[in-house]
Amino acid sequence: MANKVKINVTVNGTQYEREVEPRLLLSDFIRKDLGLTGTHVGCEHGLCGACTILMNGQAVRSCTHFAVMADGADIKTVESLGTMDNLHPIQEAFMEKHALQCGFCTPGFLMTAVEYLEGNPNPTDEEAREAIDGNFCRCTGYENIVEAVKLAAKKMADH
Amino acid sequence: MKPAPFDYYAPTTVAEAVEKLAELGYAGKVLAGGQSLIPAMNFRMARPGALVDLGKIKELAYIKPQADGSVAIGTMTRDTAVEEDEFIRKNFPIVAETVSYIAHKQIRNRGSFGGAIAHADPAAQIPALAVLLDAKLKVLSTDGERWEDAVDFIIGPFMTTLEPQELLAEVVIPPLPANCGCSYQQVSRQKGGYAQAAAIAKVVMDGDKVKDAQVVLFSVGETPIRTEQPNKVLAGMVPSTELIESVAEYVGANECDPGTDLHGTEEYRRNLVKVLVRRALLDAIERAKK
């Protein structure tokens, strides 16, 4: 058995100290060890973007990281965005524009859009499409997601 | 969890890292950004006995302009950092442009510049770019350092001259000459997907005439391919569209080795090479004149 490694990570503002096997994927650590099942696991090899989280403020795929690589990192998952009573502007925009059907891919889109909109507050259609090119949605055909990203930008500017 | 078990080490200095690699020998494998290695491990196509993670070695992530106009890029510099760096964008725009074609933002945020060269994926952008720009690579081990040209370093698909105890530490890109223009061209099934064929051109002009014309292809052979025909035909010539067309035709027919897979046939890819070499040369010449 491989050596276990002690890690310290901050997830959504809470600090966790855990001992993990090196091969434990960050996505599985977030879901199973921490019980934060908002992060969805799709392809598990870096294609679909469903497991996107923020690591030190940058959007990354949690399935292409081992939990040990997140030692010392500040992580934000979809649970950090809003609550049922107080949605994040991006969540509101996705709801208003019907940007989801089954919802499986949505957490990844939201976390990708959060990072993007912080640096690009006023995206064109083209830019909004490019921003989400690393995320798969198998239901919507993307049109409403693009609309939602643009609406979210507006909402965040007015916020 | 899907990867096979492995031992994990996270050194914080280069000295510790090379010592650990020397100790592990063939059991050890360097973990850089992990954006290629970890998917391969998830599929258990790769089953290293131990990983030496470079993620905590701060001294390996930097972009340093050198006195001679070259730029030194630390192996752990993330793709996004290279893409967004002001010095790179101004002095080596082709580097930022090429990096922007790598996969998606989430992957560029973590993928590393040196790691991509050490991985030597024949469909990857950075190894081809390193060959085109005559990059020099600094390789470290407990025996000291050695330097190698990128073109000699990459010897096959996913194969380099790197020994198990060695670490690719730095990539140095020499300055681009005056009146130089570069262009990146690819065709892929979707944005961010692997290129079915790609070409990067670097052209130096002398007035109306071509002084030097280099084109490197990738995704159409076992390694990045440094083509010979463009410079053979174009050097010293006024680059007419007929000449460029004939060069592109020749390269597509003779200087690449694409395979057939479910995304495209060999014939189709040879045709893509022809089209992309033409586009890359025309664009590079145009930029060189500016």
Boundary (domain end) residue, out of B148, B173, B198: B173
Which of B12, B104, B107 to mutate to test binding with chain A, by most A CBs within 10 Å of its CB? B104
Q: Do B42 and A60 touch (CB under 8 A)?
A: no
Q: Is residue B58 part of a domain?
A: no
Determine the Cα–Cα distance for residues A139 and B140; give it in Å rounded to an integer.
49
Please give the average per-residue pLDDT across B133-154, as a whole number.
Answer: 98
Q: Residue B31 pLDDT more than 90?
A: yes
User: Each residue of B228-239: pLDDT tens digit?
Assistant: 999 999 999 999
Q: Which residues of A touch B191 (CB under 8 A)?
A: 130, 133
B144 shares its domain with B83: yes
Domain that holds residue B20: 7-53
Q: Under a CB-based contact definition with an 8 Å cutoff, are residues B172 and B213 in contact? A: no
- Number of domains chain B contains: 3
- Please tell me the predicted confidence (pLDDT) of residue B39: 96
Q: Residue B38 pLDDT more than 80?
A: yes
Domains of chain A, first to last: 5-80 (3.10.20.30), 89-158 (1.10.150.120)
Q: Residue A2 pLDDT more than 90?
A: no
User: Each residue of B276-288: pLDDT tens digit?
Assistant: 999 999 999 999 9
Q: Do B2 and A44 touch (CB under 8 A)?
A: yes
Q: Is residue B1 part of a domain?
A: no
Residue B199 tokens read as 């070409």
Residue B51 tokens read as 């990983």
What is the DSSP pairing of strand B154-156 with strand B159-160? antiparallel
Determine the Cα–Cα distance for residues B85 and B176; give it in Å rounded to an integer.
17
**Tokens 């889109």 found at:** A109
Q: Is residue B2 part of a domain?
A: no
Q: Which residues of A touch B43 (CB under 8 A)?
A: 45
How confident is residue B2, by pLDDT bands cut at 50, 70 and 90?
A: confident
Q: Is residue B230 part of a domain?
A: yes
HEC letters along B184-220: EEEEECCCCCCEEEEEEEEEEEECCEEEEEEEEEECC
Q: Is residue B239 part of a domain?
A: yes
User: Each residue of A118-128: pLDDT tens digit?
Assistant: 999 999 999 99
Q: Residue B173 pLDDT more than 60?
A: yes
ipTM of the shown complex? 0.95
Q: Residue B1 pLDDT more than 70?
A: no
B67 shares its domain with B162: yes
Instruction: For CA atoms A27, A33, A36, A40, give the dihedral sign.
Output: positive
Q: Which residues of B touch A59 (CB under 8 A)?
A: 105-106, 109
DSSP state of B64: E
Q: Is residue B22 part of a domain?
A: yes
B132 shares its domain with B99: yes
Q: Residue A159 pLDDT more than 80?
A: no
B244 shares its domain with B277: yes
B77 shares its domain with B123: yes
- Please tell me the predicted confidence (pLDDT) of residue B290: 86
Q: Tell me the H-state helices in A23-100.
A: 26-28, 89-96
Question: Is B180 exposed, middle or buried, given 0-12, 13-18 or 19+ CB atoms closer than 10 A?
Answer: middle
